[in-house]
Amino acid sequence: MNQMIELMQGKLHNAPAIDAFSGISFALNALKKGDLFFAKNIQEIDAAIAMGAYGIVYDQSVLINDVEIAWIEVKNIEEAISRLLRYFLLSKKIEAFCLKDLEFAIFKQICTDANVLIYDENLEEIVSLLFCEENLYKAILFSQKKPLQYILDSTPSIVPQESLLDIRVATLFDLRFYYKFLHYHINLPVLFAQDLCAVLYLCENYQIQYDLSALKELAAIKPNFIDSTPRLVDYGKSNKVLIAQEELQDFKKYLKYIALNGKWGRIMTFLPKDCAEELPFPALFYGDKEDLYSFFQQENFHFGLVFGIKNEDLTHLLQSHAPKIMASLFDEF
């Protein structure tokens, strides 16, 4: 217990009857008897004690009403949690890997290794797992966009000099290739084949178990096929596509790829009104999502590239405007 208090840079405000904790909890619905409870909401402290918490970590003024358990004050609960994470990673010799955002999305889908932790803003869950001595982990992975605080050293991904994929067919939005004598057909533009290679290279070099056949749709780079309504249709069922990219660099990279490989189609770009970027393609500037939807209805294009929104926001916009299908008296129930 004293070591944990020191790691969190906390202060013990009483002399409790216990000297160890069986686990760590951050929510009442996960709390077990003997746990150290992190009270982000001090209104939950009484319930935590009633449920058998052996200690309370807090960063606000509280009333100590049970001297049998440990009362540990810290300056900031979130920082205390991060400090514990760093200690666990170092003491257990767990290697940290930082991946590019798309690499991270690929890794999350194909990783099957139970001894690898994936950080995706689930800090509390990871700290709880690491507290348990029975859990043995060899690596933790996170993305550049959501870095782990208090991690001093991490290994970046590496794109191998030679492609690991034997690509046989590459259309605009999908790949057919062989990898380790197995054939794969994946909805992934060849533009992003390097990201896939970097993940495979990492897994092979560090003996991380994976299943490449588990790789499915990647929302961040997904082409959304639409009809003239515009309404979402199945993949490849129309010659009209919308692609959303939130970051300018990613947007320009995708735009360049479409321009080089989709020369047969008309390209239209949709930019926020405050965007000053000059592009060699027709551009329409939207003030809000309703403007954007109106443009989709009115404009003639094959490839529409939208800058400034996430793909999930784009699909929600299209789905929210989809015409409702009325049930007929003759429909089967």
- 3-class SS letters over 218-243: CHHHCCEEECCCCCECCCCCCCCEEE
Residue 134's pLDDT band, with cuts at 50, 70 and 90, is: confident
Spatial distance between the Cα atoms of 150 and 257, rounded to a whole number of angstroms: 37
pLDDT at position 324 is: 65
Is pTM beyond 0.85 here? yes
pLDDT of res. 133? 81
pLDDT score of 333: 44
CB proximity list for 196: less than 8 A, separation 6 or greater: 106, 165, 186, 188, 215
Contact by Cβ (8 Å): 151, 94: no
222-321 to CATH, choices 3.40.50, 1.20.1640, 3.30.1330, 1.10.3470:
3.40.50
Residue 230, preceding bond cis, omega within 30 degrees? yes
pLDDT digits (tens, 9 = 90+) for 218-266: 999 999 999 999 999 999 999 999 999 999 999 999 999 999 999 999 9
Confidence of residue 147 (pLDDT cuts 50, 70, 90): confident
User: What's the CATH number for 1-75?
Assistant: 3.40.1390.10
Query: Residue 14: pLDDT band by 50, 70, 90 thresholds?
Result: very high
Dump pLDDT digits (tens) for 50-88: 999 999 999 999 999 999 999 999 999 999 999 999 999
Environment class of residue 160 by beta-carbon count within 10 Å: exposed (0-12), middle (13-18) or buried (19+)?
A: middle
**What pLDDT shows up at residue 298?**
95
Closest of 203, 85, 197 to residue 152, by C-alpha = 85
Find residue 178's DSSP bridge partners. 166, 183
* pLDDT classification of 148: cutoffs 50, 70, 90: confident
pLDDT tens sequence across 79-112: 999 999 999 999 999 999 999 999 999 999 999 9
**Extents of the domains making up the chain:** 1-75, 76-217, 222-321
Strand order in the sheet with 95-99: 116-118, 139-143, 95-99, 155-156
Q: Which of 117-126, 130-139, 143-152, 163-172 has the lowest mean pLDDT?
A: 143-152
How far is it, in rounded angstroms, from Cα 94 to Cα 130? 10
Read off the pLDDT of residues 19-28 as tens digits, 9 standing for 90 and up.
999 999 999 9
Mean of the per-residue pLDDT values of the chain: 93
